[in-house]
């Protein structure tokens, strides 16, 4: 490998590494694909999958409590009324018969409470079902909103990645173009051109020095093309590149191959 090839190889590796590092940093700054609904979705999902199976407990059912209080109250009134009427018929004395009939009246009302138990059970089951359906509906709405937000973030991320890729390709093409111009014509790039292409001053000086060495009076002669105040390398140095050697062109092509291999 010639000295100039070694310079180009080292320069290409350095530029590739710094550019890829910049892309990696840009990747971490791309929009996060999590959504503001993720926590809600997780919470709703856990409520649904961990929801206890239906179990009817009458004592904790407010509707059962209402019926119980009603029938106990009405049964007690009926029992007292029956005992009172019986006592009136016996001159104010109660009897075991009156007590028995009164208890029967009370039990009849308690039986009514037992009769409504299937209805109370069904009502409780419907409430349990409705609660589950409400949780499912909430999960569905939150999921739809999350998908919409995710789609917007994904599109934004894709656009940012595309912009980064185009910027990388543009800088790499400018970098390769500037290498070719310096190697072929001894062009001296400005600081602005170095910044735009990502080339270091050390590499540019090394390429220029090698150009001068190979075109010294001993090696065949040749001068140095000097730039003015800078500007874009693709425009300000284009005319200088037209008279370069075929050897430098080959070196630039090898550098391009190196870039393709590493990507």
pLDDT of residue 50: 93
Vertex 194: Cα angle to 189 and 196 (nearest 5):
125
pLDDT of residue 76: 82
**Model pTM score:** 0.49
pLDDT of residue 251: 47
User: In which residue ranges of the chain is pLDDT below 50?
Assistant: 16, 219-221, 228-251, 258, 261-262
**Same domain as 53, residue 28:** no
Q: Give the chain's end-to-end CA distance (angstroms, integer).
A: 23
pLDDT of residue 74: 84
Q: How many domains does the chain have?
A: 2
User: Can you list the pairs that 159-164 forms with residues at least 24 positions away whose Cβ atoms lie under 8 Å?
Assistant: 160/26, 160/30, 160/31, 161/27, 161/30, 164/23, 164/26, 164/27
Which domain-ending residue is among 150, 165, 185? 150
Sort residue 52 into left (φ over 0), alpha (ψ -120 to 50) or beta. beta
**Same domain as 171, residue 117:** no
Helices (H) and strands (E) in the chain, counts: 10, 0
Which domain-ending residue is among 109, 132, 150? 150
pLDDT of residue 123: 93
**Domain extent for 63:** 38-150
**Same domain as 146, residue 42:** yes
Which domain-ending residue is among 150, 172, 199? 150
**Same domain as 171, residue 257:** yes
**Same domain as 210, residue 109:** no
pLDDT of residue 232: 43
pLDDT of residue 82: 74
């Amino acid at each position: 490998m010639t000295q100039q090839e070694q310079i180009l190889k080292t320069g290409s590796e350095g530029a590739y590494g710094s550019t890829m590092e910049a892309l990696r940093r840009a990747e971490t700054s791309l929009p996060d694909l999590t959504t503001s609904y993720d926590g809600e979705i997780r919470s709703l999902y856990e409520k649904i999958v961990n929801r206890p199976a239906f179990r009817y407990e009458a004592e904790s059912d407010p509707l059962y409590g209402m019926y119980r209080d009603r029938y106990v109250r009405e049964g007690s009134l009926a029992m007292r009324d029956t005992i009172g009427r019986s006592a009136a018929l016996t001159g104010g004395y109660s009897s075991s018969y009156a007590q028995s009939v009164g208890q029967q009246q009370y039990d009849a009302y308690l039986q009514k409470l037992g009769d409504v138990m299937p209805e109370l059970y069904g009502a409780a089951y419907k409430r349990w079902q409705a609660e589950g359906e409400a949780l499912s509906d909430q999960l569905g709405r939150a999921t739809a909103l999350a998908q919409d937000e995710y789609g917007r973030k994904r599109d934004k991320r894709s656009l940012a990645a595309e912009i980064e890729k185009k910027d990388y390709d543009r800088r790499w093409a400018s970098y390769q173009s500037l290498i070719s111009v310096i190697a072929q014509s001894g062009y001296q790039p400005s600081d602005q051109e170095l910044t735009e292409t990502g080339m270091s001053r050390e590499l540019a000086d090394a390429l220029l020095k090698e150009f001068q060495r190979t075109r010294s009076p001993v090696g065949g002669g040749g001068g140095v093309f000097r730039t003015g105040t800078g500007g874009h390398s693709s425009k300000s140095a284009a005319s200088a590149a037209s008279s370069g050697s075929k050897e430098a062109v080959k070196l630039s092509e090898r550098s391009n191959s190196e870039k393709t291999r590493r990507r």
